[in-house]
Structures are given as C-alpha cells and as structure tokens.
Amino acid sequence: MKNLKVLKSDTIKAQWLDIKEQYDTDDFDLEKMNYVTSDLIAQLAFLTSKGFNEIDGTPIDTYKDRVWRVIENIGLLPEYTSVDEEAEVDIVDTWYSNED
C-alpha cells in the first residue's frame, strides 16, 4: 500500500474541505462546484491509477464517496432515464446506399 506525500495529502484535504464548506452554505455557485468537484475527482482518479490507496491513513475511496455524494445532492447529475422510458430509435444501415 502506498501513502501520499504530505504535500499531496494536504492539497486533497484542502480541496475536500473547500467543497464541504461551499456545500454547507445554501448559496453556493453551481458552476464553481461543478469545476472543483470535477477537479478533485480527476486528481483522485489519477492517484488511484498510480496505485495509491490511502491519503494519510484515510482510504482514497472515502474521498471519492464524499465528493460523489455532494455531486448527487446538489444536482450536477442528469436525471436518470430508465430503459422503459427511452424513446425507441430505428437504426438504418446506409453503408451500401448509392448516395454519396
């Protein structure tokens, strides 16, 4: 198991605390929250791809779950459409048509 250097962990923790602080206020900027949460998720994904599992003893998945819950709760995800609700789309194969 690899641990992050102190500088990296302080950065991740600071970003999470900033997101949490903004989320706790009722008048956060949705566009800014989209940017900061996306940035933190990208950093966590990069660290995961490099084999890191913890940030100063806290599992990196804990940070991912925290950010994901904020994203869900502030409405950054598009509304879910089930398969039954989707409109049927006809796929027409035009590969062998004579038109250019």
Residue 56 lies in a domain: yes
**E strand map for 1-100:** 2-3, 52-55, 58-59
Most confident range, picked from 3-17, 44-58, 79-93: 44-58
Model pTM score: 0.70
Neighbours of 53 (CB within 10 A): 13
Residue 9 lies in a domain: yes
Question: Would you state the pLDDT for residue 86?
Answer: 58
Overall number of domains in the chain = 1
Residue 23 lies in a domain: yes
Q: Quick one: average pLDDT of 78-89?
A: 67
Residue 88 lies in a domain: no
Residue 86 lies in a domain: no
- The closest alpha carbon to 40, from 30, 48, 29, belongs to 48
Question: Would you state the pLDDT for residue 2?
Answer: 55
Tell me how far apart the alpha carbons of residues 7 and 43 are, in angstroms, rounded to a whole number. 14
State the Rg of the chain over Cα: 20
**Mean of the per-residue pLDDT values for the chain?**
82
Structural domain boundaries, residue 51 = 2-78
Tell me how far apart the alpha carbons of residues 72 and 16 are, in angstroms, rounded to a whole number. 15
Neighbours of 18 (CB within 10 A): 12
43 confidence band (pLDDT: 50, 70, 90): very high
